[in-house]
A and B are shown apart, each in its own frame.
Chain A
Amino acid sequence: MMETGILFVVVFLICGLGVILAAVLPDRKNPPALAFVASLATLTLLWASGRVLFSDHAIFNSLWRVTPLIRLSIEIDRVSSFFLFITGLVFFPVSIFSAGYLKKYLGSYSLKSFALFYHLLFASIVLILIAGDVFSFFIAWEAMSILSYLLVNYEHGHEENTRSGFLMLAMSEAGTLAALVAFLIMAKTSGGIDFGSLRSLSLGQSARWGVFLLSFLGFGVKAGLVPVNSWLPRAHPAAPGNVSALLSGVILNLGIYGIIRINADFLPLKDVGQGLTVLAIGTLSALIGILYATPENDMKRMLAHSSIENMGIITAGLGAGFVFISSGHSVLGGIAFIAAFYHMANHSLYKALLFLGAATVDSRVGGRDMDRMGGLIRKMPWTSLFYLIGALSIAALPPFNGFVSEWLTLQSFLQCSALTSKGVKIAFALCGAGLALTAGLAVTCFVKAFAMSFLGMARSEAAQNASDPPHSMTIPMGILGIYCFLLGILPTYVIPQIDHVVVPFVHESALDALVPPFFTVGEGNERFPKAFVSEFHDLGAQVGSDTLPGRGLVIMHRGSTRNPVIFAMSPSYTIIVLVLLLVSGIVVVRVLTRKRALARRAAWDGGVRRLAPTMTYTATGFSNPVRVIFNAVLRPVTIQDSKETIAQHFLNAIKKDKREIHLVDRLFIRPIIDGGRLLAAWLGRMHSGRVNTYAAYVLLALMIVLMIQMLA
């Protein structure tokens, strides 16, 4: 246990080293130094958090007493270490990527500052996750907010970046304030500010609702939930490419961390209504996120909207878990939580991969507009391959990781039949349908993202002349791709770990209900009777038991005798079968056609003399049906729709331009701003400009204060 603590100290020391090097080294040398040092730090972090995650050593440590009220402490339990592990997994490739990517800022912006902010951001994130009391948590949180603002606004030469960063900071502070109030409500009752004393609390109904809403919406700002996520689609594209990967892959998770800490750890939700609120907001976020992602042509903004969607799915999974637990179905709640945590890990990995891919493309092509890309697969084959893996993962297609977590989430929704209340079941059904729609739109979105950027003909000069990126940029994407693949084909090794993480919240292990131990159960025991085990052994559920460790390779949820299997699947076996099919298919085709001649010809184009790139689909064209179908929701504002003619009959130009205002902005932010303005205007009438009136105000205030004093 001590060693783990020392390892964490080492992490901070390496960060400090990084800060010093950043200040000392010249700009040119900074990117590789950053990559090296940060990689070291992340590897150390992975080791340290891995020790806590995979064994059972939680660390509780009191540090210094700052004032009689405030005692700083460290708490690293399995939840923290899970988040720390994911942070490390994402930071590692992003750091390596930075070596090559940051070269584009050489000469225009200070790379010293970047390295400085980077290392400090890393340290602050680690601090948030290891903080054991409210004070250190919020200090680290504020540091993280400010540092992420500084990094988002890194290219401060462009005004929109500053605006977006500022919006992010402002909303983030508002959220932090709300969360702080929630913490204070709890701290007031508990008497202490360390997390241990916050755990054993009893609060009244209204206080519980207050804490729930404040913490959920407050941390929801950081997590990117509707209706407080207006900053996300603006801030993520504004940041440099590697920072966007961090924002989506690591920092969004911190919002979820906050929500989990308060609503699952300190003050577990007892009210089904609260769970349903979480579920509903999660589903809404998912739907709105993907709805705006699909017609979006800017690569990074599309990924930002997609982050909202994925955070929505995670939140919906958490909401389902809360409902199950508060209704007494702990195991089902555990399944839902496992699905949500798994999805969070998956999202961090594939979103980071996609953002790194977008950054690579941006650095080579010089733009992010998918309408002006195309044909990049021939110029950057490795980038295309890894981006494809990312796209398949986020579209939840086997054999990648997104499939497992999204499938588990939807399956956990279907278990709502175990609940008794009809209203709740209807809510689950609607949210399940909403998530299914989201999944469908996500496939559309990412088919468009991959195909329009990488396939087809190059639709602009820049895309025509794009060059291959250096290995320092493709290798990190490869690493993330491998993560995605591994987490997709070995879910039965991941689920037990996540189960350990959620057991403290659920109070019951869901492992037996998710991964039957076909490898270790032998003939059977009382939980897994002989008949059941032998039936599945006949189907091959024990294949690999001699060579592979673990419980088994099948994810299965058992039901009653009438309905023995509620859901089951095995990505591990699936990938084996898929590979066998692919290989045998290739062999058969090769054998059958060995005597045939192969001729290569240009694509059939209807006999046109020359097929120009303007005659191929653009990203706008591909996603136009979605725009048309959801027109009532998207409500684009027509800026121009005119026809110009010469002499009344010769059509010269047809001009069309539409802009969309985000739904959340339209329905939530704008009314609040307008309401605020209205209130300010009304109150502004107080400022009449006459000194006599102001003197009267002073007199009035004095009289009121005296009256209150006398009455109290």
Chain B
Amino acid sequence: MALPLDKIMKWKNLAQTAASRWPGRVEVSLDENRLTAHLRCSPDDLQGVCGWLFFELDYSFATLVVEEETASWSFRYIFYGDLGSGQVHIIVRHPLSETTIPCISRLIHAADWQEREIEDLFGLHFEGHPRLGDFVLHEEWPEGVNPMRTSFDSTRVYPHRESEPAWGPQTIVEAAGAFMMPIGPVYSDHAESAHFLLETLGEDVLRTIPRFFYKYRGLEKIAEGKSVDQVLLLAERFSGTSAFAHSLAFCQAVEGTIGAEIPKRAQALRVFLAELERLRHHVAAITGICQSTALAVATSQASILEEKILRLTCRYLGHRYLFGLNIPGGLSLDLTDDTCKGISEAGWDVLEKLKKLQGMLRFTSSFLDRLEEVGMVSKDKAVSYGLVGPVARASGVLRDLRVVQPYAYYGDHLKFYVPHEEEGDGYARLRVLFSEAEQSINLMHQVSASLPAGPVKTRLDPAPGSCLGWVESPGGATFHWVRLGEAGRVLRYRVMTSSFVNWHGFHLAAEDFAFQDFPIIMATFALSNAECDR
């Protein structure tokens, strides 16, 4: 599709605008092929520049990549904008001895958890951040040992230390008789491990203190030094329910580093399979929502559809969760045109049943009572927390990477619209899930109807460099950033997932509602702890 001219002009004028606002202190270099601007500035101007991008130019904050180079720290703040606005990478360099840098989360709250993560893992201090400490590494982790530093030996097991008896997470509610309800890390049925402390006076939850990283597997650290093939497995497997999306993002990052041209058939099939995964993920989320409200028959109906999709996937693609399909350069498996058509026919069947289910749910008032006006996230908060995916779109924030930063076969070839709602409550999120599932099937149909011929993979020769790969995974915007070294070894691997970003905003929805609503609100967010913890 034609990119909006005014936005592109604005992006091209970034250098001039930056130079006029921070004369002599900011260097801008533009890469027109990738529509990416690299902006170098000093730590003192960091907050100003980030604020300018976020508030005035309406860029969203993607992630912060920290690299420990031989003589300096490199901080890369990645921003992305609307269609045509491209990306902006702000790069700040610090000598290795300096471990303090100003924080930007007072301005851009979306950076809050990312700065806390980096503080724990790198041992860097973000000046001005009021909440550092106790994030990734829990209280039993030895002091002063930071896993992401190059001096850290990732093969060792580190002994735990005894935390002080009086240690506890910081409480916020000051009221007589306030206490905390602990949930987890091991709690209901097959829920993922996470710990919540609900501060309450007895009826309503006033504040949730979530503690994650019980599933921290040190993904970014153990990827260092491995070959692209091995890291591909890590990228695919760290979150099995969005495996295809993550492997796609990683492959795109590697392909972008090398500068490879991917065959059109591979691009189209990648879209086809990504939408198939989105469909399954959303049906699983709908099952989860019905289960949380204890509507047994609806849960069974949605569960039947999910199993149908899983069996369909396994039958044609070998694995129920689409493992092992993406490789740098394309796909490992080709599908015949008829197979694609068969899968998308089955998809229409699923859509019909899904629509029936939605129709029945619309008129079940006991179900709607649990979702309507429960778990509200306002649009302002969604924007300032940088929420992504169906959660954000239910609150009126429209950004979808398939539209604003088109990749693979998206862009001019496919027509679809991004479903969104305004209310920001549980019911809005449910409606967005149903609509997105419908759009996924629509996209699959479009792809299968116009599948380009040709090879499905191409040979890649590894080359050093770095690049960002991005994908709109079923949960929202996902970014994989890779730096390759000699002989195709991965030097640095950074993953920023939608669940990490959205878990940050979860407390907005859960606060000021009753205990009983907590699991339902959690189900409407449909987040993955494995994706968050990495």
Q: Report yes or no: B186 in contact with A609, Cβ–Cβ below 8 A.
A: no
Residues of A within 8 A of B105 (CB): 647, 649
Partner of B184, one of A607, A617, A657: A607
Q: Answer yes or no: B202 CB below 8 A from chain A CBs.
A: yes
Q: Which of A610-647 contact B (CB under 8 A)?
A: 610-612, 614-625, 628, 646-647
Residues of B within 8 A of A617 (CB): 179, 202
Residues of A within 8 A of B140 (CB): 609
Partner of B175, one of A606, A650, A657: A657
Partner of B109, one of A297, A605, A615, A649: A649
Query: Smallest distance from the beta carbon of A652 to chain B beta carbons, Å?
Result: 7
* Among A646, A654, A655, A657: residue with most chain B CB under 10 A: A654
Residues of A within 8 A of B112 (CB): 649-650
Residues of B within 8 A of A614 (CB): 168, 171, 179-180
Q: Answer yes or no: A653 CB below 8 A from chain B CBs.
A: yes
Residue of B nearest to A652 (CB): B172
Q: Report yes or no: A653 in contact with B197, Cβ–Cβ below 8 A.
A: no
Partner of B177, one of A605, A620, A650, A653: A620
Q: Report yes or no: B172 in contact with A606, Cβ–Cβ below 8 A.
A: no
Query: Smallest distance from the beta carbon of A660 to chain B beta carbons, Å?
Result: 12
Q: Answer yes or no: B174 CB below 8 A from chain A CBs.
A: yes
Query: Smallest distance from the beta carbon of A636 to chain B beta carbons, Å?
Result: 12
Q: Answer yes or no: A422 CB below 8 A from chain B CBs.
A: no
Query: Smallest distance from the beta carbon of B45 to chain A beta carbons, Å?
Result: 19
Q: Answer yes or no: B473 CB below 8 A from chain A CBs.
A: no
Q: Report yes or no: A656 in contact with B179, Cβ–Cβ below 8 A.
A: no
Q: Report yes or no: B202 in contact with A624, Cβ–Cβ below 8 A.
A: yes
Given the interface pairs A649-B384, A654-B206, the reply to whether A608 lies near B195 with Cβ below 8 Å is: yes
Q: List 21 A-B contacts (CB under 8 A).
A: A371-B176, A607-B186, A608-B184, A615-B179, A615-B182, A616-B179, A618-B178, A618-B202, A619-B177, A620-B178, A624-B203, A649-B109, A649-B384, A650-B131, A654-B174, A654-B175, A654-B199, A654-B206, A655-B174, A656-B174, A656-B206
Residue of B nearest to A628 (CB): B203
Q: Report yes or no: A608 in contact with B185, Cβ–Cβ below 8 A.
A: yes
Interface size of B by Cβ–Cβ distance < 8 Å?
42
Q: Report yes or no: A615 in contact with B180, Cβ–Cβ below 8 A.
A: yes
Residues of B within 8 A of A608 (CB): 182, 184-185, 195
Q: Answer yes or no: A651 CB below 8 A from chain B CBs.
A: yes
Q: Report yes or no: B182 in contact with A618, Cβ–Cβ below 8 A.
A: no
Q: Which of A355-388 contact B (CB under 8 A)?
A: 371
* Among B173, B201, B385: residue with most chain A CB under 10 A: B201
Q: Report yes or no: A612 in contact with B168, Cβ–Cβ below 8 A.
A: yes
- Besides A621-B200, A625-B202, A656-B201, 6 more A-B contacts (Cβ < 8 Å) are A605-B182, A608-B195, A612-B168, A621-B201, A622-B202, A649-B105
Residue of B nearest to A650 (CB): B130
Query: Smallest distance from the beta carbon of A615 to chain B beta carbons, Å?
Result: 5
Residue of B nearest to A625 (CB): B203
Q: Answer yes or no: B233 CB below 8 A from chain A CBs.
A: no
Which residues of A come within 8 Å of B, CB atoms?
297, 371, 605-612, 614-625, 628, 646-647, 649-657
Given the interface pairs A612-B168, A623-B202, A651-B172, the reply to whether A618 lies near B179 with Cβ below 8 Å is: yes
Q: Report yes or no: B181 in contact with A615, Cβ–Cβ below 8 A.
A: yes
Q: Which of B433-468 contact A (CB under 8 A)?
A: none
Residues of A within 8 A of B185 (CB): 606-608
Q: Answer yes or no: B183 CB below 8 A from chain A CBs.
A: yes
Q: Report yes or no: A610 in contact with B165, Cβ–Cβ below 8 A.
A: yes
Which residues of B come within 8 Å of A, CB atoms?
105-107, 109, 112, 130-131, 138-140, 163, 165, 167-168, 171-187, 195, 197, 199-203, 206-207, 384-385
Given the interface pairs A646-B130, A656-B201, the reply to whether A620 lies near B184 with Cβ below 8 Å is: no
Partner of B202, one of A605, A610, A621: A621
Given the interface pairs A618-B178, A625-B203, the reply to whether A606 lies near B183 with Cβ below 8 Å is: yes
- A371 to B201 alpha-carbon distance, docked (Å): 11
Given the interface pairs A617-B179, A621-B200, A622-B202, the reply to whether A653 lies near B174 with Cβ below 8 Å is: yes
Residues of A within 8 A of B138 (CB): 609
- A623 to B201 alpha-carbon distance, docked (Å): 10
- A651 to B200 alpha-carbon distance, docked (Å): 15
Residues of A within 8 A of B200 (CB): 621
- A624 to B205 alpha-carbon distance, docked (Å): 12
Q: Report yes or no: B172 in contact with A371, Cβ–Cβ below 8 A.
A: no
Given the interface pairs A614-B179, A647-B106, the reply to whether A609 lies near B168 with Cβ below 8 Å is: no
Residues of B within 8 A of A624 (CB): 201-203
Residue of B nearest to A646 (CB): B130
- A646 to B138 alpha-carbon distance, docked (Å): 24
Residues of B within 8 A of A609 (CB): 138-140, 163
- A612 to B209 alpha-carbon distance, docked (Å): 15
* Among A297, A614, A625: residue with most chain B CB under 10 A: A614
Q: Report yes or no: A615 in contact with B130, Cβ–Cβ below 8 A.
A: no
Given the interface pairs A619-B177, A646-B130, A649-B112, the reply to whether A654 lies near B201 with Cβ below 8 Å is: no
- A615 to B131 alpha-carbon distance, docked (Å): 21
Residues of B within 8 A of A612 (CB): 168
Partner of A606, one of B176, B186, B385: B186
- A606 to B180 alpha-carbon distance, docked (Å): 14
Residue of A nearest to B512 (CB): A654
Which 4 A-B pairs give the minimum distances between C-beta atoms? A620-B177, A624-B202, A621-B202, A647-B106
- A633 to B369 alpha-carbon distance, docked (Å): 27
Residue of B nearest to A607 (CB): B186
Residues of B within 8 A of A371 (CB): 176-177
Query: Smallest distance from the beta carbon of B219 to chain A beta carbons, Å?
Result: 23
Q: Report yes or no: A652 in contact with B130, Cβ–Cβ below 8 A.
A: yes
Residues of A within 8 A of B106 (CB): 646-647, 649-650
Query: Smallest distance from the beta carbon of A646 to chain B beta carbons, Å?
Result: 5
Q: Report yes or no: B207 in contact with A654, Cβ–Cβ below 8 A.
A: yes
Query: Smallest distance from the beta carbon of B179 to chain A beta carbons, Å?
Result: 5
Partner of A620, one of B176, B181, B183, B187: B176
Query: Smallest distance from the beta carbon of B149 to chain A beta carbons, Å?
Result: 25
Residues of A within 8 A of B179 (CB): 614-618, 621
- A618 to B177 alpha-carbon distance, docked (Å): 6
Query: Smallest distance from the beta carbon of B119 to chain A beta carbons, Å?
Result: 15
